[in-house]
Amino acid sequence: MAQPLMPHATASWLVDNSSLTFQQIAEFCGLHILEVQAIADDTAATKLTGRDPLRSGELTQEEIERGQADPDYKLKMHREPDQAVRTKGPRYTPVSKRQDKPDGVAWLIRNHPELSDGQIGKLIGTTRSTIQALRERTHWNIANIQPKDPVTLGLTSQRELDAAVAKAAKARGAEAPVDTTFNEDREALIEELRAEREAHAREAEAALAAETETQSTGSGLDRDIDQAFRN
């Protein structure tokens, strides 16, 4: 199934601008449901700027409305995103994002040790010497570097990252990593949300009961005062 060009940014927009379920958004964007939960809770490593899938033509308002009306409905992409054209030269990175490169490299080193320096260099558009310095923690700014997802930072695309990871796994004679904890994590998340709803319901009931008791006590006191004056 095709995915949006910038899945995390698209998920952020859908969270903010629709009532689609996290599961629907996760499936459309090709993300884990807990990633969508993190985006909704603003606990993602980097604050995301939403990307409007309506404007890009990847979704229509009618399709979103179908999904909102039926939580089990799976969104269908209206038009696949334009593929980025890569040249033989080094990847160009806007000046505003170049300072993020070490953070992206550090994230890849920590989360995808199977990637070679050459693969990381192509994904991020940086030099082998920089990657080596980060591996050895001798980079001049190592104290201020925070590992952050390069896809979220806009340094590479999810497709390119997935392709590089799959290629590295194939070179090692292993299968590409598969998330086998999805159902377990999903059930844990559902259970957590259910517990939160139940706790809120109990708090609301307790508050209502306290308010009713206060009103009842006040009414009784008023009756006592009226009776005293009559006597």
Whole-structure pTM over 0.75, yes or no?
no
Burial, 202: exposed, middle or buried (Cβ in 10 Å; 0-12, 13-18, 19+)? exposed
- How many CB atoms within 10 Å of residue 176? 13
Instruction: Give the chain as a 3 state SS string.
Output: CCCCCCHHHHHHHHHHHCCCCHHHHHHHHCCCHHHHHHHHCCCCCCCCCCCCCCCCCCCCHHHHHHHHHCCCCCCCCCCCCCCCCCCCCCCCCCHHHHCCHHHHHHHHHHHCCCCCHHHHHHHHCCCHHHHHHHHCCCCCCHHHCCCCCHHHHCCCCHHHHHHHHHHHHHHCCCCCCCCCCHHHHHHHHHHHHHHHHHHHHHHHHHHHHHHHHHHHHHHHHHHHHHHHHHC
Would you give per-residue pLDDT tens digits along the chain (231 residues)?
566 667 888 888 999 899 999 999 999 988 888 888 888 876 544 456 678 888 888 899 999 999 999 999 999 988 765 544 444 445 554 544 568 889 999 999 999 999 999 999 999 988 888 899 999 999 888 889 999 988 888 888 888 888 898 888 888 775 545 555 545 555 666 666 667 667 767 777 777 777 777 666 655 656 665 666 565
